[in-house]
Structures are given as structure tokens and as C-alpha cells.
């Protein structure tokens, strides 16, 4: 299929582009094109949506926008559709998006006359321009600039914004919904205001005309006593709390350096860092069908972390799933895979963790239902389903035959990389059955596809598999959602030798498993043709600009939907996720500025989405089964608040 498609694609590139260029808006390799996923909500060029619910981005200070993007990704601000878009992007790319929107200079909308009484407005004006010394409230102009157009680098302007938006943001600080970098001066200020004052200020601000120069000022006016007493975290340099030192080589002899690489491969930070918390300080929930289990603090803190642990204690946890004090650990900590980690690698990981700054973060109590919250239940489970791996010493002995590359691949896939923890099927008690035939991820509807199906990824070439893991994409597929996060935090750092070893082992798995890919049933095919016109029409309108009139995509930019692996999966789950939530590919060294797909959940009805997905699953030679309105509806109910 791949070759034939590529051939078709070359033909299309060579012959048809001039016609296509006449018919559709020209594609450009630009930030504007990349940010189409953002402007779907924020309005063309980030000028704000028509109803004022989506804030303007254009022209706001870049430092401010950047901090907001981090705030959403790290859980200090809450808007789920934005957070899920940002989860696969790194800081460098967020900075670029911020600079792009900041540099746009667009006219502001005319001020909206306010319905408030003159007395209310005058009171609001006084608070904004003079503050209230009696309660220690500085004038808003002290920080937001005398003209209220903001102050670089990180204080936004307050004019030209809808009153509803301003009111909601101040309310967010009052109720603890919105946070800024600590110390959060705005939380303090917002809580000094009564509800009436807050809405009067919002209405007064939105009724003001903008000055001719709308640029943010270079510096703040001279401080008064009230502002001097208040520090804003956004004036402080950013600490890279989430950043983890990285070294790309496994051959380095220094154990801590090797350990840093191994920790990437095991994605320890992915589970052991809470959103917005310090790296490795624990507290992130791992959802299971039995409840939520919170990860431990792995920093060298003596009280809450592993500061007092020995290398033997650490090895016991990884190899046997037993903590230092002897209690059994829950397999949400994937020691069911890590038990294959060798002693030398365990010691290297331990040496690396010891180099981290200690974080005094107390553990979060697990939230499990009875009887799963008892050590007895856990011990029974372990007796039934867990045996520590017999191969321990070198970490390179697991796996078939004697080929050292295959052995290394088996070790990385089955052990350190713990790929089966998502891709392996499980029994009703959550135990891995040992095959890689695919599984639903708990807590979401994402489907991690089979890794052993010869018709699936295991049938890709070694180069294609390695590219998928190291860059997040290849000619056939694109890593999305949870897999894009695995690529972002872990597999993009694979050395070439390790990527090749994994690819070879994944291909070897295919030879041992029968195909489980669905052959479409006649009834499904009949269903697909029920509303083909509606689906085709919606596709033409909403999707063809990016994915191409014939679903051919654009190489390296927009995935082809014709012959697309995800489109033809038996379960439509991942397609529904992509369509509803949109998403960016992972930002990787090889592809640092991925393009984005806008979320459609707010734009399209369940019936429209069902018709659209059924259409793309049956068009252009695709063979997926119909998607029903019920599938979409079920999804909405489980995913959305």
C-alpha cells in the first residue's frame, strides 16, 4: 500500500498541484498555518471570537502569552480543550506560538458602551487608576501601565477585552480556578475586590477607547507603597521545574549519566511528576479500573523521597514491586515490566535519581475502592499474576534467540519501555495476558493498537518503526494523544541503535501472532453508504483544505487519510478522539514545529461527526466500519465534563 500511495502522491505533486492551488487556499510553511488549530477558537489571527468567549491573543506581550500556555499545560489555568492540545508540545514551541501571536498587530474592536450607572463607573475608574490605599489595593495602572495597554514582558493590557472575559478571569482568581506563577499577585488583588466592584471594573475597562499606540509599555510607572509590597511571579525568571537533564548516549560509563538516559526510556518522569509540580516529586494519578493510584516521590528527599534508600532497596522496588518498608506496591507502577530491568541499569537509575534536587513533597493517598485498597487483595493478586523476572543480571538477556539486537529490543519493549502496559491485553483483574493484541487505556477511550498484528505496525519496515518512535511520524501514521506524549517524553530520545533494536523486535513479534484486524462486514459496508453525501459534503467543507480532496494529505505536514492506519482500525475510538479534541503531533528534535488539527467537538453535532467519520472510513479505498451517532454520544458523555 505504502509504495503505491507514494507513487500516487508523487504523480499528484508533479501534475495536479497547479490546479489544486487554484481551487484551495495556498498552503504555506508558516506559523499561521501551524496555528490554525488555535485560531479555530481564537478567531482569525487570534483576534478573538465573535462572542468574546475566546480571548484575543494578537498583540499581547509574548512573555505573558507564553506563561499562559505553560499555565494551561501545567494545570494552573483550566480549560480542558486547550490543555489536551498543549500536552504534546514542548516549551520551545510554546514560546514560538506566543511570539507569533504577540507580533500580530490588529485593530481593536470599538469599546462597548456600558449599562452601569455613572456613579458605579466613577467608583470603578477610581479603583483602576488610584487603587484603595486603605485596604492595600494598588491601582491597576501601577502594573498594567498608565495607559492600561500592558507592560512588557509579562503583564497584559486590560483594554479592548469583553467585560464578560475580564469578569470571568477576576472571578477565576477569586475562586482559585486561575493561578499565575507564584507569588500570584493577581490572586491577592482579585480577592480584595467585592463581586460588585469586580463587575463594575470589568464593565468600565471594556467601555474605554484604546489609545492610538496599543503596544505594551516598556516598564511600569514608579511604584507606590502598595505595589512595592506585592511581588508577581511573572516578573521572576522562569525556573525550568519540569526540565530534566538529558544525555543521548548509553555508552557513557558514568552511571548517573546512563541513568538519565534510562529514565527517559522508562519515562519515569511521565508518571512521577504531577502537572505543574516538580519533576520526579510524585503525586500524579495513575487511573486504573479499580481507582486512582498516586505515584511516589523519587527525589532524594529523606522524609518523603528515596533519600534514605540503598541501591538494594531500589532494586527490590523495581524488580519485586516491594517498597523499602516491605509493603507491596500496586502494579500501576509497572514493575510487571520493570522486573526485567537488570541490576546494573537499576543502579544507574538510582544514581541518576540521587543527583536530582530533593523535593519535600508528601505522598498523596491512593483512592481505591474496597477490596482493592487492602494489602491482602494486592498480595493475592501478586501471587496469581506476578513472578519477578528470572533474568536479572545484565538487562540484555530477555527475549528470543541469541541475536543481541533482538535481545536488546525485547528488553526495551518488554522491560524498560513498558510498551505492553498500554498495548497488552489484560484480564478482568487488570493482569497483563502476555500478548500485545491491543487495549483500551483506563480513564479514556484511547485504544492502544495491537503491536503484534502483521497487518498493523508490526508489519512496518524497521526504518518506519524507528522513525515513528524517534520523530512521532512516518509515511503511514502519526503518533497522537497518549502515544504522542510517549514520543515527546521518551522515545524521541532513543539512540539510533536502540530505536533499531526496538523496531526489529516489534517486527519479530508479528511473526508469532495471527492477524486480528477486522475484515469489514457487509452490514457495516451497507451502513457506510447510508449518508455518504452528508459525510462527503462535511469533509469538503471542514477537512479537505488540510487533508486533501482525495484524502491524500500533505507529506510531512498533514497525515493522509486515504489508506491511513488509524482510520482503518476496527475501533473508531482514536478517530473520535482526534476529531473531537484535535491535536498536534509531538514536538520532537526531528519535527520541532508540528502542525495542528483544530478540535471539532464544539462545531459539529454527533450526527455530523458520525456521518463524517463513516465517510472517511469508506472513501478512497478505506475499509473501516461505520461510526454511529451512539458511538460519538457515548464518547461525549465519558470525556466531557
User: What cell was used for 240?
Assistant: 525550568
Q: Which is nearer to ligand HEC, 352 or 524 (CB)?
A: 352
Residue 565 interacts with ligand HEC (CB under 6 A)? yes
Residue position matching grid coordinates 510498551? 419
Which CB atom, from 14 or from 570, has the smaller least distance to ligand HEC? 570
Q: Does residue 23 have a cis bond before it (omega within 30 degrees)?
A: no
Site track 120-149 with ligand HEC (rule: CB under 6 A), x = hit: -------xx---------x-x-xxx-----
- Which residues, numbered 150-189, are part of the site for ligand HEC (CB under 6 A)? 154-156, 158, 166, 168-170, 180, 185-186, 189
Does 299 help bind ligand HEC (rule: CB under 6 A)? no
Q: CA angle, corner 227, sides to 70 and 163, nearest 5?
A: 60
Burial of 136 (0-12, 13-18, 19+ CB in 10 A): middle
Binding flag, residue 58, ligand HEC (CB under 6 A): no
Compare residues 354 and 547 and give the one whose CB is closer to ligand HEC: 547
Using only C-alpha atoms, the chain has a radius of gyration, in whole angstroms, of 27
Identified binder of ligand HEC from the candidate list 454, 559, 572, 624, rule CB under 6 A:
559
CA–CA separation, 29 and 141 (whole Å): 40
**Binding positions for ligand HEC, 504-543, rule CB under 6 A:** 542-543
Alpha-carbon dihedral sign for residues 144, 145, 149, 150:
negative
Of 32, 104, 146, 230, the residue at the interface with ligand HEC (CB under 6 A) is 230
Shortest reach from residue 86's CB to ligand HEC, in Å: 6
Q: Find out whether the peptide bond into 21 is cis, omega within 30 degrees of 0.
A: no
**How far apart are alpha carbons 574 and 111 in whole angstroms?**
44
Q: How far is the CB of 70 from ligand HEC (least distance, A)?
A: 9
Residue 57 C-beta: closest distance to ligand HEC, Å:
5
- Using CA of residue 495, residue 501, residue 504, residue 508, what is the dihedral sign? negative
Q: Considering the rule CB under 6 A, would residue 62 count as an interface residue with ligand HEC?
A: no
| Of 267, 339, 470, 588, the one binding ligand HEC by CB under 6 A | 267
501 binds ligand HEC (CB under 6 A): no
Applying CB under 6 A, among 575, 610, 611, 625 the residue interacting with ligand HEC is: 575
One of 149, 336, 478, 568 touching ligand HEC (CB under 6 A): 478
Pairwise CA distance, residues 78 & 143, whole Å:
24
Cα separation of the two ends of the chain: 40
CA distance 177 to 1: 49
Among 437, 616, 429, which Cα is nearest to 531's? 616
Determine the Cα–Cα distance for residues 565 and 546; give it in Å rounded to an integer: 18
- Residue 612, interface with ligand HEC (CB under 6 A)? yes
Region 350-369 residues binding ligand HEC, contact defined as CB under 6 A: none
Among 278, 368, 509, 597, binds ligand HEC (CB under 6 A): 597
Residues in 75-114 at the binding interface with ligand HEC, rule: CB under 6 A: 77, 79, 81-82, 85, 97
Among 342, 399, 417, 548, binds ligand HEC (CB under 6 A): 417
- Which of 200, 268, 501, 610 is the binder for ligand HEC (CB under 6 A)? 268
Q: Considering only 4-12, 206-214, 383-391, 483-491, which stretch makes contact with ligand HEC by CB under 6 A?
A: 483-491
Cα(428)–Cα(395) distance, integer angstroms: 30
- With CB under 6 A as the contact rule, which of the stretches 14-22, 411-419, 524-532, 617-625 interacts with ligand HEC? 411-419
Residue 321's CB: how many other CB atoms inside 10 A?
21
Q: Round to whole Å and give the CA distance between 366 and 2.
A: 47
Amino acid at each position: 500500500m505504502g509504495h503505491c500511495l507514494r507513487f500516487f502522491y508523487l504523480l499528484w505533486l508533479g501534475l495536479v498541484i497547479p490546479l489544486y492551488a487554484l481551487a484551495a487556499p495556498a498552503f504555506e510553511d508558516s506559523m499561521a498555518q501551524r496555528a490554525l488549530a488555535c485560531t479555530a477558537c481564537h478567531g482569525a489571527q487570534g483576534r478573538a471570537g465573535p462572542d468574546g468567549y475566546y480571548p484575543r491573543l494578537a498583540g499581547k506581550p509574548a512573555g505573558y502569552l507564553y506563561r499562559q500556555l505553560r499555565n494551561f499545560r501545567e494545570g494552573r489555568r483550566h480549560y480542558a480543550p486547550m490543555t489536551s492540545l498543549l500536552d504534546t508540545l514542548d516549551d520551545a514551541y510554546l514560546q514560538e506560538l506566543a511570539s507569533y501571536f504577540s507580533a500580530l498587530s490588529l485593530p481593536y474592536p470599538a469599546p462597548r458602551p456600558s449599562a452601569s450607572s455613572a456613579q458605579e463607573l466613577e467608583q470603578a475608574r477610581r479603583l483602576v487608576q488610584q487603587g484603595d490605599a486603605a485596604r492595600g489595593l494598588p491601582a491597576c495602572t501601577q502594573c498594567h501601565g498608565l495607559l492600561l495597554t500592558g507592560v512588557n514582558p509579562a503583564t497584559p493590557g486590560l483594554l479592548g477585552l469583553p467585560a464578560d472575559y475580564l469578569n470571568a478571569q477576576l472571578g477565576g482568581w477569586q475562586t482559585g480556578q486561575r493561578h499565575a506563577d507564584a507569588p500570584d499577585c493577581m490572586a491577592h488583588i482579585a480577592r480584595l475586590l467585592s463581586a460588585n466592584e469586580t463587575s463594575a471594573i470589568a464593565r468600565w475597562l471594556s467601555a474605554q477607547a484604546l489609545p492610538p499606540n496599543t503596544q505594551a509599555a516598556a516598564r511600569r510607572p514608579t511604584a507606590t507603597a502598595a505595589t512595592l509590597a506585592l511581588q508577581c511571579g511573572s516578573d521572576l525568571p522562569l525556573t525550568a521545574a519540569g526540565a530534566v537533564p538529558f544525555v543521548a548516549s548509553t555508552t557513557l560509563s558514568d552511571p548517573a549519566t546512563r541513568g538519565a538516559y534510562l529514565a527517559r526510556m522508562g519515562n519515569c518522569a511521565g508518571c512521577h511528576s504531577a502537572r505543574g509540580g516538580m519533576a520526579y516529586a510524585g503525586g500524579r494519578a495513575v487511573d486504573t479500573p479499580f481507582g486512582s493510584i498516586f505515584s511516589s516521590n523519587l527525589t532524594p528527599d529523606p522524609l518523603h523521597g528515596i533519600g534514605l534508600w540503598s541501591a538494594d532497596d531500589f532494586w527490590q522496588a523495581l524488580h519485586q514491586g516491594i517498597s523499602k518498608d516491605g509493603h507491596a506496591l500496586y502494579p500501576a507502577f509497572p514493575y510487571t515490566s520493570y522486573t526485567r530491568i537488570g541490576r546494573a541499569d537499576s543502579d544507574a537509575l538510582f544514581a541518576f535519581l540521587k543527583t536530582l534536587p530533593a523535593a519535600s513533597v508528601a505522598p498523596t493517598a491512593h483512592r481505591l475502592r474496597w477490596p482493592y485498597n487492602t494489602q491482602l487483595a494486592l498480595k493475592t493478586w501478586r501471587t496469581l499474576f506476578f513472578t519477578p523476572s528470572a533474568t536479572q543480571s545484565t538487562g540484555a538477556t530477555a527475549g528470543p534467540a541469541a541475536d543481541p539486537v533482538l535481545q536488546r529490543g525485547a528488553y526495551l519493549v518488554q522491560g524498560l519501555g513498558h510498551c505492553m502496559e498500554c498495548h497488552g491485553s489484560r484480564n478482568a483483574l487488570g493482569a497483563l495476558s502476555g500478548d500485545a493484541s491491543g487495549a483500551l487505556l483506563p480513564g479514556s477511550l484511547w485504544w492502544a493498537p495491537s503491536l503484534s498484528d502483521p497487518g498493523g505496525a508490526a508489519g512496518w519496515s524497521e526504518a518506519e518503526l524507528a522513525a515513528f518512535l524517534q520523530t512521532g511520524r512516518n509515511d503511514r501514521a502519526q503518533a497522537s494523544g497518549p502515544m504522542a506524549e510517549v514520543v515527546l517524553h521518551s522515545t524521541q530520545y532513543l539512540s539510533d541503535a536502540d530505536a533499531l533494536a526496538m523496531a526489529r523486535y516489534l517486527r519479530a513479534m508479528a511473526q508469532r501472532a495471527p492477524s486480528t484486524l477486522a475484515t469489514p462486514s457487509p452490514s457495516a459496508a451497507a451502513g457506510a453508504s447510508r449518508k455518504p453525501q452528508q459525510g462527503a459534503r462535511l469533509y469538503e467543507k471542514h477537512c479537505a483544505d488540510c487533508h486533501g480532496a482525495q484524502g491524500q494529505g500533505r507529506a510531512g505536514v498533514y497525515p493522509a487519510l486515504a489508506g491511513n492506519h488509524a482510520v482503518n482500525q476496527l475501533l473508531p475510538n482514536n478517530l473520535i478522539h482526534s476529531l473531537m479534541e484535535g491535536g498536534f503531533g509531538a514536538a520532537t528534535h526531528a519535527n520541532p514545529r508540528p502542525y495542528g488539527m483544530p478540535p471539532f467537538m464544539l462545531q459539529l453535532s454527533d450526527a455530523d461527526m458520525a456521518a463524517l467519520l463513516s465517510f472517511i472510513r469508506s472513501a478512497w479505498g478505506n475499509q473501516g466500519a461505520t461510526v454511529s451517532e451512539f458511538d460519538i454520544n457515548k464518547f461525549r458523555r465519558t470525556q466531557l465534563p
